[in-house]
Structure formats: structure tokens, C-alpha cells
Amino acid sequence: MADAFIILNELAQELRPMAQGIEWFESLSAEEQAHTLRLLSHFCVQARATTVDGLEGVRRSELRATHTPAVLIARGRIDQQLGKIASLAPRDERLKSFRLLIAVLAVADGRRRERICANGCRHAWHRLSAEPAEPLT
């Protein structure tokens, strides 16, 4: 799971195709998936995700507004809702949560990179290579 930090940030920065990320996520055990979702939730909080980011994340992830993660993200305090989304247990809900949390991270961290880190920063995840990512195994 050490590479998860890099993989998740590459997905959020669109340096790695989402189809590859989904394949990787589905290859994880249920426990590893739960850990990955908690990690993504934490990344979103660190990036200062807002409710508006959550709604944009729903749009980008192409989830229907009636899917459980999409309903949760629109319900109030984003930090609490991110935790609930990361805790969804059914397999199909975990995959929807993964897609949504990647999209929310993309929105929130993208804004952070534009506004705060535009002139440089010490965040290692903002210095990932723009070269095509290797396929995940």
C-alpha cells in the first residue's frame, strides 16, 4: 500500500487514467479498499474540500445524484460526510465512493495548487511527473 499515496494523487491530477485506478482499486482486498477510502477522505480534508467541491465531484465522477455517496456528500458538513462515504461497506458502494473521492480530491487540490501552490510549494504530491504512468500490477 506504500504506492497508494502516489497512485491516488496521480489519479486526482489526471496523470493516470481512471480506468487504471478502478482496476487497481478492485484488485485490493476489502480491508485495503477501506483503508484507501479513509486515506482519500483524509486527503480531501487536507485539501480543504468544500460542499461545492463535493457537488462538482459528483458531476465529474458521473455518479447519479441518487447514489449513496452522492446523497451523503450533499448533506452538510463535508468533513463528516467524507468520513461516512469512506465507511460505506458494500462492494459496489466502495467503488462509487472511490470514484467520488478521487473527483473531490481533484477539485479541491486543483484549487489549492492554483491559489496557494502556484509559485511553488513543498508538497511532494504536487511535483509528480507528467509523463505517462506505468500500468498498475
Note the pLDDT tens digit of each residue in 51-105. Answer: 999 999 999 999 999 999 999 999 989 999 999 999 999 999 999 999 999 999 9
Residue 81 buriedness (CB in 10 A; 0-12 / 13-18 / 19+): buried
Classify residue 11: in a domain, yes or no: yes
Classify residue 133: in a domain, yes or no: no
Classify residue 39: in a domain, yes or no: yes
Classify residue 34: in a domain, yes or no: yes
Please report which confidence band the pLDDT of residue 125 belongs to, taking 50, 70 and 90 as the band edges: low
Burial code (b: 16+ CB inside 10 Å, e: under 16) for 87-124 equals ebeeeebbbbbbbbbbbbbbbbbbbbbeeeeeeeeeee
Classify residue 129: in a domain, yes or no: no
Classify residue 41: in a domain, yes or no: yes
Classify residue 61: in a domain, yes or no: yes
Distance CA 42, CA 23 (A): 22
Residue-range definition of the domain harbouring residue 41: 4-110
Classified as helix, coil or strand, 28 is coil
The pTM score is 0.85
Classify residue 26: in a domain, yes or no: yes
Structural domain tally of the chain?
1
